[in-house]
Structure 1
Amino acid sequence: MSIAVAMITVDTTDPIPLATWWSEQIGGHIVAENEGYFVVVAPRGTGPALAFQKVDDPTPGKNRMHLDLTTEDLAAEVARLLAAGATKVADREMPGFAWVTLADPDGNQFCVSGAHPAPDA
């Protein structure tokens, strides 16, 4: 038996603007709006879809699960995301690896890093 990640769903009070923002950031496109209740964004290439589900009261506080995104040019991508409406939470670093924690327009945190270090052999 096996399972695969098909979709990552985010609760929000206003799904369409948040789905639109994310579709622009990942180069995807909205494939279903479901009258603004459940909006699905298909990624560019492979990977799970992102969905944005309308709820009256999203869970308060820091999200317990977040997206980890990678890019070839960390500084340029962070600058682009900030210009698009993300906010910087913190610069992070460990030996040989750096990443930036950001928040989307709804305050959902996510991380962006350069290439991940190779796992220990």
Structure 2
Amino acid sequence: MFELASERWNLRRLGMTPQSREASTPPCTNERLSEDPVSVATMTTHQITLGAINLEAQNPATLADFWASVTGALPSPGGDSVYLPSAGPGGFAMFFQPMTGPRPEHQTFHLDLTVPWGSRQAEVRRLLDLGATYQWDVLDEFPHVQWTTLADREGNLFCVAEHPPTDQQGL
């Protein structure tokens, strides 16, 4: 259900409809026609998955402890880095390593975490109690999602989003 709403929103952002997307998508094939990128994009199944989200941190152990509390995973330190495995199916792993340079002035990437409809406020309170910092809410701009943007203990932004049931989305 979340994927469908997200897909519709992404298509609208690109000025497309599901029908126009299908019309512009080349037929899928398992045969590799050539070494060019177009043939790779036409494979039937994609074998790529997200292994881990890697973050540089001023204090990898402290940041890993924060995210372990967020996700429920158990940190696995190794040297000056910390691996945080997925807490379960559908979860995500994280890897924390020491900073190799100054932190960029503008963050170009952030995590969008989702929670069941009606539980965002309670989850945000829990995360604030764990040390997150409130940034802002986006509640009325899009009918298919509401979110709160927070920052972790080192200032990395992340969002906690909830998607209303399809019959309440007003799409």
TM range (shorter): 0.7 to 0.9
Q: Tell me the equivalent position of 2:62.
A: 17
Whole-angstrom distance in 2 between the partners of 1:95 and 1:56: 38
Q: What are structure 1's unaligned runs of at least 5 residues? A: none
- Distance of aligned partners of 1:28 and 1:92 in 2 relative to their CA distance in 1, 3 Å threshold: same
Identity of paired residues, percent?
Answer: 35
Q: CA deviation at 1:110?
A: 0.2
- Distance of aligned partners of 1:117 and 1:51 in 2 relative to their CA distance in 1, 3 Å threshold: farther
When the two structures are superposed, what TM-score results if normalisation uses the length of structure 1?
0.85
CA RMSD of aligned residues (A): 2.1
Q: Tell me the equivalent position of 1:28.
A: 73
Question: How do 1:1-121 and structure 2 match up within 5 A?
Answer: 2-31=47-76, 33-36=77-80, 38-46=81-89, 47-72=91-116, 73-93=119-139, 94-96=141-143, 97-115=145-163
> Which structure: larger Rg?
2
Relative to total residues, which structure has the larger strand share, 1 or 2? 1
Report the count of equivalent residues. Answer: 118
Is the CA contact 2:146–2:163 (under 8 Å) kept in the aligned structure 1?
A: no
Whole-angstrom distance in 2 between the partners of 1:71 and 1:53: 27
When the two structures are superposed, what TM-score results if normalisation uses the length of structure 2?
0.62
Q: What are structure 2's unaligned runs of at least 5 residues? A: 1-45, 167-171
Is the CA contact 2:65–2:75 (under 8 Å) kept in the aligned structure 1?
A: yes
Relative to total residues, which structure has the larger helix share, 1 or 2? 2
